[in-house]
Chain A
Amino acid sequence: MSDWLRDLAFTWPFSAGSDEFIVVTWVVALLFGGVGVLIAVFVGEWLDGPVRSTLSGPSSSLSPSSSLSSVAVIARQERLTVGRLPVGEELWLLAWVRGGRRRLETALFVAGVRAGWIRTAGAQLVIVPDVEPADPLLAQFKLALHRTVMTAKHPVHAAGAELEGIMRERAIAAEVARPATRDSMLASLSLFGLAGLAVVEALYFAFGDTSRWSMPKVVAVVSFVLLGAAAFTMMGAAFALRQHRQAMAYTSWLTRNVDAVREDVRLGLTQRDEDIVLIAALDGESAMGETGERLGIAHVRSPHHGRVDTRPFMDRLVDGLKTQDGEPSPRGDRA
């Protein structure tokens, strides 16, 4: 054993008693854990690269205007650039990064109602077979709805689930979502601090003054290490593995810049498809207000947790192709 390791036993905190060392462990754990998470955050942002923005200089490409009846094409890696409103496929990307699959379903559903291939028929919403969406993802969503509407309990959710993989790939390609490998690597980094703590503890028990330690205290320290691992994993998920830097910057910028149109949609004062779908994608059906009522897609609040539940309107969906013969819909059978 080298001299410096023998000297370690007489150096604080390795010379500390059990009670003092437990307190030191907590402090060191917090510091090391925090450092680990910070490292993961910074590495994550560094890997994400700089935020794309037209605000600091002229745009590299002109952004086309778009309606839901025409498809705007924007290069994948130019999508969701700060300073530009989302058009065409960017709206679905926005919905996905903003609220995941549920938000995507809402945006696509609202777009379907606005485009006229989902229509109100009495108390039901009917998928109109003859109208073909120009947007590729909307077309896929309509096909998926046709497939799931008679079989799935919640057809919109089932159709949305079919698109989830596609959206994840698109988001990664557009550099607004992190690949799974990067997520895993950042999660490992966030545990880096805990490894430091384990080293400190190992050194203490190997060379420190453990004469006054009782078994319950040893158990307490070991348990703490395990609890710390769980806590920092969660912290890592909460901080380091947040959304992609570009997605966060874009949604934050957009949220601050749609006050007028958000109000117009809530009060039913706009009839522009792109405005209505934009707010559905950004804020969800709970922000649709009067426009949602008019579209027949009013949301209800669950009595539990005040959560917005979209099922009541989405589940009134039936397939126009299969109900044209006047047969009653099987809705009652599935309810």
Chain B
Amino acid sequence: MIANIHTVLALLPAATRARLEAFAKAATTILGDDLVALIVYGSAVRGGLTPRSDVDVVLVVARDEPTRLRALHDAAAIARVSARLDLQVLLHSELAHAADVFPVLFDDIRGHHAVLVGTDVFKDLVIHDEHRRLRVEQELREARMALRRLVVDTASDDLSLRVGVDALLKRVRAPLFSLCVLHGAHHKDDLITVLDVLGRRLDVDTLPLTNSQTAALPAAEACMRLLDRAIHDVDGLVRA
């Protein structure tokens, strides 16, 4: 779903908006005709942007000459330290070919985005379910491994474990939503909704994950159960 950029910008904090616009201006000046699109996505468009959220931005370019890209360094670095601008740079010609390996990312961008500069290059992108399924499984398995490591690393630090579990949940929101899409679901893709829908579908109590007051270890255990069942579920789709 493409959002109106003026609505998106109006909802951003004034300082973040100013810095985003400054980056857009710098990118336009530096890249000229090579700038195909500058697109905002993630929580800035979907909703749920907090003062500590990253502002996700994808820059689509026609050519990726290193000298031109290096000229973006100052503007990108300042946008990062001043407004947590998280920049991805994609080549316009690679978008269609990359949809098989980045289906979850592209789904996420396509789901909620606003075009700051240029044209909407994600509108007509084709993403196949088999690619989506493979990528979902990969990301969920990676998250499961990361969770094991997190538990090991934070043995005596409950606060870090809880913070880590929350960060991991943010990371798996997109693949979990893609799993819902694979099942034909069409609902909101915010974390609370995704956890609620999948919790019911996979018979996992997700309350310890959504309730920030839950202790670290029960939250980690609930996250493990959810990931295990989601992996089993997505793995079963290939056999189906």
A interface residues with partner B (beta carbon < 8 Å): 54, 58-59, 62-65, 83-85, 257-261, 263-264, 267, 269, 275, 278
Contacts and interface: CB of A to CB of B under 8 A. Distances in A.
A85 B78 contact: yes
B114 to A, nearest CB: 20
A83 B52 contact: no
Given A63-B74, A257-B81, A261-B82, 8 more contacts: A58-B71, A62-B71, A83-B74, A85-B74, A257-B78, A257-B82, A260-B83, A278-B81
Contacts of A65: 73, 77
B92 interface: no
Say whether chain A's binding surface is mostly helix, strand, loop, or mixed: loop
7 contacts: A63-B73, A83-B74, A84-B74, A85-B81, A259-B82, A267-B52, A278-B81
B152 interface: no
B84 interface: yes
Contact of A85 (B30, B77, B83): B77
Interface in B6-39: 15, 29-30
A263 B52 contact: yes
B82 A260 contact: yes
Contacts of B83: 259-260
Nearest to A85: B77
Most chain B CB within 10 A, of A59, A64, A257, is at A257
B32 to A, nearest CB: 12
Given A257-B82, A269-B52, A54 B77 contact: no
Given A259-B15, A267-B52, A62 B70 contact: yes
Given A267-B52, A269-B52, A258 B74 contact: no
A258 B82 contact: yes
Interface residues of B, number: 17
Contacts of A257: 78, 81-82
A282 to B, nearest CB: 10
B141 interface: no
A55 to B, nearest CB: 9
Interface centre among B30, B67, B73 (most CB of A within 10 A): B73
Nearest to A294: B160
A259 B15 CA distance: 9
Closest 9 A/B residue pairs (Cβ) = A261-B81, A260-B84, A257-B82, A85-B77, A84-B74, A258-B81, A62-B70, A257-B78, A260-B83
Contacts of B67: 62
B80 interface: yes
Contacts of B78: 83, 85, 257
A65 B76 CA distance: 11
Contacts of A267: 52
A5 to B, nearest CB: 63
Nearest to A64: B73
A169 to B, nearest CB: 27
A264 B83 CA distance: 11
Contacts of A58: 29-30, 71
A30 B129 CA distance: 80
Nearest to B51: A263
Nearest to A81: B74
Contacts of A62: 67, 70-71, 73
B51, B67, B84: most-surrounded residue (chain A CB, <10 A): B84
Interface string B55-80: 00000000000010011011001101
Contacts of B29: 58
B55 to A, nearest CB: 9
Contacts of B52: 263-264, 267, 269
Contacts of A64: 73
B66 to A, nearest CB: 10
A278 B70 CA distance: 21
A290 to B, nearest CB: 10
A257 B77 CA distance: 10
Contacts of B73: 62-65
Interface in B127-166: none
Nearest to B54: A260
A59 B84 CA distance: 23
Contacts of A275: 81
A62 B69 CA distance: 11
Nearest to A263: B52
Given A267-B52, A269-B52, A54 B74 contact: yes
B30 to A, nearest CB: 8
A63 B71 CA distance: 8
Contacts of A263: 51-52
A7 B194 CA distance: 95
B74 A59 contact: yes
Which of B15, B30, B81, B84: most chain A CB closer than 10 A? B81
Given A267-B52, A269-B52, A260 B80 contact: yes
Nearest to B85: A260
A257 B83 CA distance: 8
Contacts of A259: 15, 82-83
A84 B72 CA distance: 11
Nearest to A257: B82
A9 to B, nearest CB: 64
Contacts of A258: 81-82
Contacts of A84: 74, 77
